[in-house]
Structure 1
Amino acid sequence: MTEEFHPPIRNRFLIMRLLAIIAHDVKSPLDSILLLISFFKEKDPDMEDYTNFLAVLEPHIKSSKNILEDLLNWAKLLLVEDNTLPEKLVNIKIRDLTDKVIQSVQYFNLNKQIDFLNNIPEDLSYSINVDLYTFVLRNLLMNSIK
């Protein structure tokens, strides 16, 4: 048999890791959304209930979308690592990007009340892979919230 049918162990590990992340990080917000919907179905809702429901539902959907985008970016990074896609470096202010990532995980931090401090100097810029930086930082922040 050829290698086409037996991918290297490393690729299998990466696929398993991706599936584990999807199972946990995407499934959890979707379960929360389903729980909200089932709770709402059991009530006799009025307009205020709908408004409150949408206010709670929106951050769940946004966070799920962000996680899915991160997973897709991670998959792209794996392709870059395997030289399937070229790496894209962008000169960017690290503080601004870090603030954006911190903001994207704040919904998950509501119950924990962890303060994320960004002490990166305002004028610090680097040429980085934005997708990789965002993915790694968001993953670190999410793990600290858990």
Structure 2
Amino acid sequence: MTARAEIENVLGLAAWGYDENDVDLIAAQFTETATMTLQIGRDGDPIGPFEGRDAIRKLHADSLAAQTDQRRHNISNLVLTKETADTASTTSNLTLLSVENGAARVLSSGWYRDELVNRDGRWLISQRHIYLDLPY
């Protein structure tokens, strides 16, 4: 697998983990010391940082516990903006879908900016910033 394919797989596993209510799978895609921030709308205040794998895991667990719908995170237009043997920077689009009561709807669009590191031959997210165009 090339570095790009491995990086895409990490981002996909984090999304799949959320969609399948598997917070351990989500957390496993982040370094122990990872940080994550979130912003909703151009004028929205930054939320976070959530510091460390455990804090990121808890954020996702709390979010999932509050949901009544089935979410589907669709990641597209992945661009590697920097890549070395040990680090990579990516930007990708997000389309967030919700299925509930027999209907599907788009909750929001947005993007991810991720910093990844190669630790012992495995790519992990070290920093993530999520931007959502709309609150959901």
Q: Fold conserved (TM > 0.5)?
A: no
The structure that is strand-richer by fraction is 2
Question: Please, what TM-score do these two structures have when normalized by structure 2?
Answer: 0.25
The structure that is helix-richer by fraction is 1
> Which one has the largest radius of gyration?
1
